[in-house]
Structure 1
Amino acid sequence: MRATYEDLLRAARRAAVSALRGTYPDEAEVLADWDAVLGATRNHLRWLRTSLKTEPGAREPASCSDNSLGRLARTIGAAADILAVQDSVAAAALDVRDDLIAARAEVAAIARIGAEAVLRNTKTRTPGRLHLKTVIAELEEIAGADSRRMGLGGLGVLAAGGPGLTSAGLMIAPLAARWERVHTAVDEASVLTRELRSTTAQLRTVGGQVWHVATHVLSSPHAGLDVGQRRDLQVIRRALRGFDSHSRLVERAWRRRLSDLGGPGNSLDETAFLDLKDSMDELLRDRGGLRSPRDLVGHRRSAVVLIDAIDELLWSAKQVAGHQQRMVSWSIAAGRLFVPRHEAAQVELAYLRRPGGGARLLQPWWVRTDRAGCFGELTRDLTEATDSLRAASDMARRLAGTSRFSRRTADPVVRLSSAYVDLASGIADQGQEVPGPGR
């Protein structure tokens, strides 16, 4: 799978947040990394047909480090490379003015987070801070220009070459987003009950894998977690146990529900899920079987990557579960689901009567109905399972530092971005991540 422009901007935002939450003991290194970030941002904005008016600083650009700011500079540069290598047909996406403004706003917001990290890690009298504040003001102006808040449009799906993210842990985010997008693109009228059963199985698998990752992060002596982070992971594990128990009941209920539709189903969601599962298996397993906590979480940076993966997986799983819940409600209202006749008779005695009276046979063992009372068990268990996933996702967002970011969502109502303050560190983020119909 190729990394898209949208995927790389998401990776850049995560690197920026990581930089904001980290500490740089070497002031010269943080300034060199910022010069690299600013240079990459200038180049990126040129491809988006705009530029920073503030003149470059007096320092000569130097090579960036392997810290979060250095990774941010490289990721912003990689995203700009995707724009640079498009052919004339794909480059037509750059002619859509609203999408250009949205992309400029996201790049500026990401760079603004990196600038805040530099302010936090340099002294007041450090040379260049006045220039930095001038750049910040200009970045804020660009970041606030996107009044539409509807995503990157055609720019978001631009890609080039092979996968840009080779680490299994880093590949989880785009694969989870793809799994979610495929599910939310399915039309209600084409959904079969077997596909709803498959979705339940997919969600249970993802929930079990996330539970396993969270357990290993907690068990590893190298994770470097503080008391609050350990508590949050425990809450996530408890919520996932609740989800698993409720989703088992959903799975059992599906065995007693049939669809009246025939014909081929939509296997795209299963294909996307298998790609995601393969990436998770690559992360969790080696030739000898499951990795031990020490192997999976060998150092603090691995723990950070895995916490980000937990956040991405639970966010996508929550969206898929919500979409499934809406599909079930629509199918019930449309009268597309069957129930056993004896269950329907408990709601409406008419199902026990013989059609037309006389000696004709009773109605079939399975009857189709749109009465919500016949599906109380199924809808109740679906709601409780979705609520458990929502609780786990909300806690994962807080743990990963994305609690208040406006993220692209499958929900029918688009949420606008708001100021973010991390509960643990108190760090504020004035950036935004553009929302849209697909994450």
Structure 2
Amino acid sequence: MMRATYEDLLRTARRIAANAQRGVYPDKSEVLADWQAVLFATKNHLRWLRLHLKVKPGEAKRSDNALGRLAQAIGAGADLLAVQDAGAAAVLDVGEDLVAARSEVAAIALMAGEVAMRSTRARDPERSRVRSAMRELAEIASADVRRTGLGGLALLAAGRPAALTGDLSLIGPAAARWERAHAATSPEMVLTRDLRSATAQLRTIGGDVWHIATQLLSAQSAGLDATQRRDLDLMRSELHSAEASSRRVESSWRRRLSDLGGLSESPAEIAFLDLKSAVSHVLGDDRGLRRPRDLIPDHRTAMELVDTVDEVLWCTEQVWRHQQRTVRWLVGAGRLFVPRQEASQVDIYFLRRPGGGSRPLQARWVRTGLGGCFDDLTSALAESAEHGKAAGEIARRLAATSAISRRTGEPRPRTPGPYVAYASGIDDQGQELAELCR
């Protein structure tokens, strides 16, 4: 169950354009309105490819005609570029790939222009405007002299696999909501009770995935080959190591505090309860955990479970990153308390007695931002995150999603990069605000 990539969306758009060329528009006003929608979507798409289209399209309206569907397909490609995180969007800095993508989008729009030209008369004033836009598009379409594909842009993707049937379909969306809840929580609002809860969440999910991998190995009906079985063994080993490191993190939270304890009431905790419920409903029933042959009756179900594990581990990897970022901020801001005795081993300042010769009672806990007081915590966090990342990479290999770029949550939305000229020499037109409108 592969995700739609940027290359897939452009291929679909080209197919729709080819079908439109074979069709006939009975109403001239409809074809011109749909052409304006295609032109609007193309201009917006090229913005994300860092190119300014000089032509000014008219009002765009949604249509179910052939060119209307083409406008939606071109717009979908722009939306995919818009939701990429900063890491994945780095491919938009590769000049040759940008030129190739612009060329393909312009070529697809040219096919729509040919439909509009064919449906208008020679003396129609709209025909000259269509011809003018086509000349600019033709110049862009001819700029790709490399003709070797889209490069890194081709594998950009967004979203998750198509919905599965049955209870498995609930796990992926629940995991995504859980990850988004962590991403949306500002470090300033996090207490150590929330971080202890996050550590427990990660340990629980890791244990559930470990159980699924064990069931896949135990079920003869799964029909796995030797390579897949070896990968599952490696995944279990990485999850076991992540669990060991997470236990160290949990132990560290007993000596690093920002509150007096209690239960977490964060949105991430609530989202996790939904995820845990979805996973538990798949793995067991009111009689207990399902046996391997009941959980995995055939090879197709095994592959659906692998896809689900892939989604869950990807979200888990992001939560580990969010936790590391939050801890770094809390330490840097001096929000955490440590035992005075341990702090004094890092800085003798904490051995001093205030008040000259008097000996008033001194607090047993002190608040500090000294990084050396948190070495055990940060190293254990880093180790658990690394093992979780390794397990996720194995899951992506099993699910055949290793080469596909995925979106990660970011606190700020991206905007199109500055315009850059392509090889034929169109000047830099400066930056414009872009709207995500198809």
Instruction: Give the TM bin, normalised by the shorter chain.
Output: 0.5 to 0.7
CA shift, 1:349, in A, is 1.1
Distance 1:96 1:251, change over 3 A: farther
Residue number in structure 2 paired with 1:52: 16
Cα deviations by residue, 1:49-71 (Å, 9 ceiling, x for unpaired): x981212899xxxxxxxxxxxxx
Distance 1:317 1:340 in 2: 31
Distance 1:357 1:413, change over 3 A: same
Residue number in structure 2 paired with 1:302: 301
Letter in structure 2 aligned against 1:102:
A
Contact preservation (8 Å) 1:211, 1:237:
yes
Letter in structure 2 aligned against 1:271:
I
CA shift, 1:100, in A, is 4.3
Residue number in structure 2 paired with 1:419: none
Contact preservation (8 Å) 2:193, 2:263:
no
Contact preservation (8 Å) 2:156, 2:405:
no
1:20-419 mapped onto 2 (5 Å cutoff): 52-55=16-19, 100-103=76-79, 167-259=166-258, 267-410=266-409
Listed as ranges, the gaps of 5+ residues in structure 1 are 1-10, 17-36, 59-85, 87-94, 107-133, 157-163, 416-439
Partner SS, residue 403 of structure 2: coil
CA shift, 1:363, in A, is 2.7
Q: Using CA pairs below 8 Å that are at least 6 residues apart, which structure has the higher relative contact order?
A: 2
CA shift, 1:98, in A, is 9.4
Distance 1:334 1:358 in 2: 32
Distance 1:265 1:216, change over 3 A: closer
Partner SS, residue 13 of structure 1: coil
Cα deviations by residue, 1:257-282 (Å, 9 ceiling, x for unpaired): 21069999652101111111000000
Give TM-score scaled by structure 2 length.
0.60
Contact preservation (8 Å) 2:157, 2:404:
no
Distance 1:329 1:367, change over 3 A: same
Distance 1:282 1:12 in 2: 25
Contact preservation (8 Å) 1:217, 1:303:
yes
State percent identity of aligned pairs.
Answer: 48
Distance 1:414 1:246 in 2: 33
Residue number in structure 2 paired with 1:78: none
Contact preservation (8 Å) 1:257, 1:339:
yes
Letter in structure 2 aligned against 1:253:
S
Distance 2:261 2:224 in 1: 51
Cα RMSD, aligned residues only:
4.2
Distance 1:414 1:388 in 2: 29
Distance 1:183 1:352 in 2: 38
Partner SS, residue 347 of structure 1: coil
Contact preservation (8 Å) 1:182, 1:272:
yes
Distance 1:369 1:273, change over 3 A: same
Distance 1:354 1:312 in 2: 54
Distance 2:401 2:77 in 1: 23
Say whether 1:13 aligns with 2:3.
Answer: yes
Contact preservation (8 Å) 2:209, 2:309:
yes
Distance 1:365 1:272 in 2: 36
Contact preservation (8 Å) 1:168, 1:279:
yes
CA shift, 1:361, in A, is 1.9
Distance 1:357 1:97, change over 3 A: farther
CA shift, 1:103, in A, is 4.5
Aligned residues: 301
Give TM-score scaled by structure 1 length.
0.60
Distance 1:414 1:229 in 2: 38
Distance 1:381 1:98, change over 3 A: farther
Distance 1:228 1:262 in 2: 46
Distance 1:105 1:369 in 2: 43
Listed as ranges, the gaps of 5+ residues in structure 2 are 23-61, 63-70, 83-106, 112-140, 142-148, 415-438
Contact preservation (8 Å) 1:191, 1:265:
no
Residue number in structure 2 paired with 1:159: none
Cα deviations by residue, 1:356-413 (Å, 9 ceiling, x for unpaired): 3221324300000000000111111111111110110011111110001000114789
Contact preservation (8 Å) 1:354, 1:362:
no
Distance 1:183 1:102 in 2: 27
Residue number in structure 2 paired with 1:123: none
Contact preservation (8 Å) 2:156, 2:406:
no
Contact preservation (8 Å) 1:220, 1:297:
yes
Letter in structure 2 aligned against 1:215:
T
Cα deviations by residue, 1:119-174 (Å, 9 ceiling, x for unpaired): xxxxxxxxxxxxxxx99xx9xx9x97x98x9988xxx8xxxxxxx76622122111
Distance 1:311 1:412 in 2: 24
Distance 2:332 2:261 in 1: 19
Partner SS, residue 220 of structure 2: coil
Distance 1:232 1:262 in 2: 40
Partner SS, residue 223 of structure 2: coil
Letter in structure 2 aligned against 1:257:
R
Distance 1:382 1:12, change over 3 A: closer
